[in-house]
Chain A
Amino acid sequence: MTSRDVITLSVLLGVAVFLDVALIWGPTLASVLLSFTSWDGLSPIKPIGTRNYHAIFETYPLFWPAARHNLLWLAFLGLVATPLGLLLAVLLDKQIRFTRFYQSALFLPVVLSLAIVGFISQLVFSRDYGALNSVLGRGAHPVDWLGDPHLNIWVMMVAASWRHVGYVMILYLAGLKAVDQSLKESAAIDGANEVQTFFRVTFPTLRPVNIIVLVITVIEALRAFDIVYVVNSGRNGLELLSVLVFDNIVGEASRIGFGSALAVILFVICLGFIVVYLSRILRQEDQ
């Protein structure tokens, strides 16, 4: 390398590394450090050890419901929305009639932000002026889809899935298009029926897509925030960890240390899933 190369490389790499450190690693590390302190944003930062974590796990009434909701959200996306997206991708890959139309229609929600999805879901699920109650003819005894704390989390997950299904579908569709056609033909000659061909030949070759979809599903489930926030600010049955983080750090309490501790917990959960999965994949790769 000439000295010119070195300069070019360091400038190009340097900017990227600087931004990465300043905007991602810095705040992440700061969150971790702040989670062991008490700070309201103005007065001096007070280190208090693990007291925030003790408080979260033992006395904070909203933590466990929120954590439960997040895990439920993850399970719903992972077990319902993602397989549904895969199923749609497989159907669309068959070049049925109007494929292009279905593809666009199903993908459309993905370009909407979750806040808009939340807003649209209000139009559909609102107790008084929502479309669903009218369609069901429950004008006299309306169901409070969004207000009932036993019901609203499910309604929100359906609304979030509306978007997630399209996202997963387009990823799998791209993956399926890239699958070597002769593999399917070979399987057909080997005597596999369509279901066997899919599960024993096509799906395993989609592994790179599976990794991406899993990571996206985990991230989407754990960072869900705006969709519930526009509905009712994430209260009354719609508590999520991200909402608690936001309320504590930005809200009136300004409990930045406490909020950071919640954020760290969210981060660890997220990391847990992905690290376990990736390490399993990489180990298989080595063999």
Chain B
Amino acid sequence: MATVRYDKATRIYPGTSRPAVDGLELEIGDGEFLVLVGPSGCGKSTSLRMLAGLEDVDQGAIYIQDRDVTNLPPKARDIAMVFQNYALYPHMTVYENMAFALKLRKTPKHEIDVRVKKAAAMLQLEEYLGRKPKALSGGQRQRVAMGRAIVREPQVFLMDEPLSNLDAKLRVQTRSQIATLQADLGITTVYVTHDQVEAMTMGHRVAVMLDGVLQQVASPRELYDKPANVFVAGFMGSPAMNIKKVPLTESGAKFADMILPLERSQIEAASADGGDKHVQVGFRPEDTDLVGAEDGGMPIHVDLVEELGSDAYVYGTVALEGQDERIIVRADPRNAPSLGDTVYVKPRAGQHHAFHAGNGRRL
């Protein structure tokens, strides 16, 4: 068990000028489950591979439990990794796959046996120990990959999109299993995913990356409630937050015919740094109410209704500054509007977010 620290760690792939990971500064506590999330190409996997020692660190340093591992080979870092495609050794049985690392470390045979069987029991793999990976289902392979990491009893678990090859139902099931397992073992875990639902549900803290730069690292709740910038606001949450660039007035943001109130300091900050009398405001689809025509909501022309059973999402357009802009709001599924209707929407008081029109930072 250990802490992990990235100290301005940078990776520039040979032949490129833009860093794949740019001065990453991140501290991960002992026993913490940290999720790295972002769209593809954001540098999350590269960050993980730098920690694993599979990728060079061009600038900066990485520490595991205060030991500088920047230039150590993977085997000297005492980590275990679960790969996206599991990377099970195809010619070895499940047992041999799980025992391989221990064998290389010359662990006594009976101890290997005890540890492999214990891990197999935790993952319900006992009856498959003699099988080759080829003879296993996707979910079983995934568990073998987990088992291979667990028997090592490493300082840090690294997981690179371990659920992305599973079907949707199994993914949800395995998600909670991994979270429970990690809580039981208490081993520091760094988990990479592009799926914001996985990030929200599994991570103690979530680090959001874009273009090699860390955007925000916070608890899921805080990411949801106080996104640090427009990108994080739009990335976390599904369906995505409605974010529009609208004119700034003296008391707030002018959204269609409504004024979304902003605080004095927010208005000042929005005007500074080339704010150009505009501000980006956002509200989540779930933070809205449908109101009557005379209650001062913005009129939305419905062009799609998604019925999910528990919720209904209403997609429509609203005229902002003479242009039709798309808006998504959540509605009561038992009382959802229909196609072609005009509904009136009001963001809930105090539930909207404001960002700088130019740099996108939270105000």
Which among A180, A183, A189, A200 is the interface contact of B74 at CB below 8 angstroms? A189
Nearest CB in chain A: distance from B76 CB, A: 9
Interface residues of B in 192-230 (CB under 8 A from A): none
Known: A188-B73, A189-B74, A189-B81. A180 touches B87 (CB 8 A): yes
A204 contacts B91, C-beta separation under 8 Å: yes
B81 contacts A192, C-beta separation under 8 Å: no
Which among A182, A187, A192, A200 is the interface contact of B85 at CB below 8 angstroms? A182
A20 touches B (CB below 8 Å): no
A186 contacts B91, C-beta separation under 8 Å: no
Nearest CB in chain A: distance from B92 CB, A: 8
Which among A182, A189, A201, A205 is the interface contact of B75 at CB below 8 angstroms? A189
A182 contacts B87, C-beta separation under 8 Å: yes
A204 to B93, CA, bound (A): 13
Count of chain B residues with Cβ under 8 Å from any Cβ of A? Answer: 22
Interface residues of A in 187-226 (CB under 8 A from B): 187-193, 196, 200-201, 204-205, 207
Count of chain A residues with Cβ under 8 Å from any Cβ of B? Answer: 18
A180 contacts B91, C-beta separation under 8 Å: no
B80 contacts A189, C-beta separation under 8 Å: yes
Nearest CB in chain B: distance from A252 CB, A: 54
Nearest CB in chain B: distance from A224 CB, A: 33
Interface residues of B in 66-115 (CB under 8 A from A): 73-75, 79-81, 83-85, 87, 89-91, 100-101, 104-105
- Taking CB as reference atom, which chain A residue is nearest B77? A189
Residue interface mask B102-137, A partner, CB < 8 A = 1? 001100000000000000000000000000000000
Known: A205-B90, A205-B91. A190 touches B85 (CB 8 A): no
A274 to B81, CA, bound (A): 40
- Chain B residues, CB < 8 A from A185: 52, 54, 74, 81, 83, 87
A187 to B74, CA, bound (A): 9
A190 to B148, CA, bound (A): 9
A20 to B87, CA, bound (A): 42
- Chain A residues, CB < 8 A from B101: 189-191
- Chain B residues, CB < 8 A from A190: 75, 100-101, 104, 148, 152
A186 contacts B87, C-beta separation under 8 Å: yes
Nearest CB in chain B: distance from A189 CB, A: 5
B83 contacts A192, C-beta separation under 8 Å: no
- Chain A residues, CB < 8 A from B73: 188
A180 to B104, CA, bound (A): 21
Q: Which of B81, B84, B152 has the most CB of A within 10 A?
A: B81
Nearest CB in chain A: distance from B285 CB, A: 38
Nearest CB in chain A: distance from B135 CB, A: 10
Nearest CB in chain B: distance from A172 CB, A: 17
A189 contacts B105, C-beta separation under 8 Å: no
- Taking CB as reference atom, which chain B residue is nearest A190? B101
Known: A204-B91, A205-B90. A180 touches B81 (CB 8 A): no
B105 contacts A191, C-beta separation under 8 Å: yes
List 5 interface pairs A-B (beta carbons < 8 Å), by A numbering.
A182-B83, A185-B52, A188-B73, A196-B104, A204-B89
Residues of A bordering B, CB below 8 Å: 180, 182-183, 185-193, 196, 200-201, 204-205, 207
